[in-house]
Structure 1
Amino acid sequence: MSHSPHSSGPLDDYGPTERTVPTRSKERASYDRATVHALLDDEYVCHLGFIRDGAPVVLPTLYARVGERIYVHGSTGSRPMRAADPGLAVCLTVTHVDGLVLARSAFHHSINYRSVVIHGTAYQVADPEEKRLALDALVDAVVPGRAADSRPANARELAATAVVRLDLAEASAKIRTGPPNDEAEDMDLPHWSGVVPRTRVYGTPIPSSDLDPSIGLPEYLAGR
């Protein structure tokens, strides 16, 4: 069953479009909504691409998904944030690197990865309630539970912070898993071949030197 790229039903796929169908390794592409959401929710750093003064610009920044929207924050003085009113054409990407794929030949070296690419128009968030919701989501995207355990932004801080939203209408995932794709004629070469897994590990939290000793480690950090 095919779906419009603007379909928003919770069980629907994101319909493939000219911009979301890869030119190489099409079999690795996925338009499954649950897959896209899971990959987005497992990360909090994205790269936001747009055109500025006729030249491409790509910026790393924090993001959070709330339903069928992505929220990105920045300074009110930054060009992309100003350009998002009335609207800025963007391409947002998120990538997880899961392993180094080492083949017998240099040509077949690769990485195992999971990625999401989203095309669309970003708009500046003007509604105060939506802006607060977005900022809480951005904090919780990095450390779940932290938004409720910190002081909310005051009026001055809200005025200095811009938030843009991007609808998840034109989105796709691309995933590579598995071992190297060695050529048959290379199988007898004396070179190690395989996958080096890569994982993200957080260290032990270090309290601020001026923290009240009576304030213990929050439960939401205990398992990180």
Structure 2
Amino acid sequence: MADGLVLGPDGLHRPAWASVHEDLRHYYDTEWGLPVRDEHGVFERLALEGFQSGLSWATILRRREGFRRAFAGFEIEVVADFGPEDVERLLHDEGIIRHRGKIEATISNARATIALRDLDGLGPRGELGPGADLADLVWSHRPERTPMPATAQDVPTTSAESIALAKELKRHGFRFVGPTTMFALMEALGVVDTHLLGSHRRGSSQVWTQDGSPA
């Protein structure tokens, strides 16, 4: 291991967390940190990050298809219509994390996502005009520069932007959206790039350059 990276059998450098199992390597190589800008995609990842709180990402990743089946493919309107009987059904679904608070938060967050669409403007000063949605709100918290971590210890767990995003989402009724969870969401969506320097994925989002400036 050099500079916090692990050299894989394919000759590519990855962080330790992405070098343990093939499913994590595949997720790191093909999805994590690539830009997701559509409302549906952002909602799914918001839900999964909420379920991940207090757990490992591997635990969530290996149940991802179970979550998709349980939550109707994360179709926002369908999840928003879930009622008490659906909560009880999900509490008995072994394909997901059976946590009542997180299940109820996902349903509540679907309703909050729909409610955002009807506002005249999003953001503290309404800077995102009519027609803005959850994805626009999340991406509006993109920083001016992204971190430049050389080791895992250099990767932040929160930022001024993730704190602001958490505050804004809570203001609109979202739950399980603390600053740490929101920073993890921003990493997953490509809003920030925390690939370690020297990783073969650094700068791959085309949102950020290798040196941390906007692409």
Given the two structures, how large is their TM-score scaled by the length of structure 1? 0.25
Structure with bigger helix share is 2
Given the two structures, how large is their TM-score scaled by the length of structure 2? 0.25
Which structure is larger by alpha-carbon Rg, 1 or 2?
1
Structure with bigger strand share is 1
